[in-house]
Amino acid sequence: IDFFLNKALWTNIGIENSVPIRIKNLLDIHSIFNEKHAEFFLEGRTLDSIFNNNKLLKNEHADDIGIFKEDYQLLMNSIIPEIQTIAFQIIRKSADMISILRDNLYIDICIFKKRKNNKIEYRNKLYKEEFYLKSDHIFLKEKGSMFQITLKNI
């Protein structure tokens, strides 16, 4: 499903109507990662909106999470098969990202690599390792739903 066609679909439906579905999608992903004793961290605008506003932005139709390359095999061998049982589909796969879709909403799973000199790499950009190795938590509160997400990059 093309990203821009998907955005047009949600613009037509009313992008604000995506929020309850996005929350459900993140809750379900969070639950499976917990069940598999794996961690993910929020990334991009998803992190920004929850961290700064304590809720998801209403004008988005995709969410971003990240994992480290060391957890890639766990993701592919254990987590992805489990999320496929609850109607998520893999719609795009590259060396640095796997995009999944359910109910016409994306979650991009970004694959980060640890590099020398205390750097973290994603898509040929280097970031300070200290931002990704802290372990902290944030609570997502939206229309009666609340769950704790481990953040490793605030």
pLDDT tens digits, 60-95: 888 999 888 999 999 999 999 999 999 999 999 998
- Tokens 């209403």 locate to 58
Distance CA 44, CA 41 (A): 10
Q: What percent of the chain has pLDDT over 90?
A: 32
Q: Is the pLDDT of residue 45 over 90?
A: no
Distance CA 73, CA 151 (A): 21
Give the max Cα distance, the chain: 47
- Tokens 């589909």 locate to 89
More confident: 113 or 145: 113
Q: With CA atoms as reference, report the closest residue to 142 among 27, 18, 20.
A: 20
> What is the amino acid identity at position 93?
K
Distance CA 123, CA 57 (A): 24
> What would the pLDDT profile of 47-60 be if each residue is shown by its tens digit?
778 777 777 888 88
pLDDT at 136: 53
User: Confidence band (pLDDT; 50, 70, 90) for 2?
Assistant: confident
Q: Which two tokens stand for residue 152?
A: 């490793």
Distance CA 21, CA 10 (A): 12
| Average pLDDT along the chain | 82
Q: With CA atoms as reference, report the closest residue to 132 among 112, 148, 149.
A: 112
Write the CA distances from 121 to 39, 40, 45, 74, 110, integer angstroms: 18, 16, 18, 20, 11
Q: Using an 8 Å Cβ cutoff, are 72 and 111 in contact?
A: yes
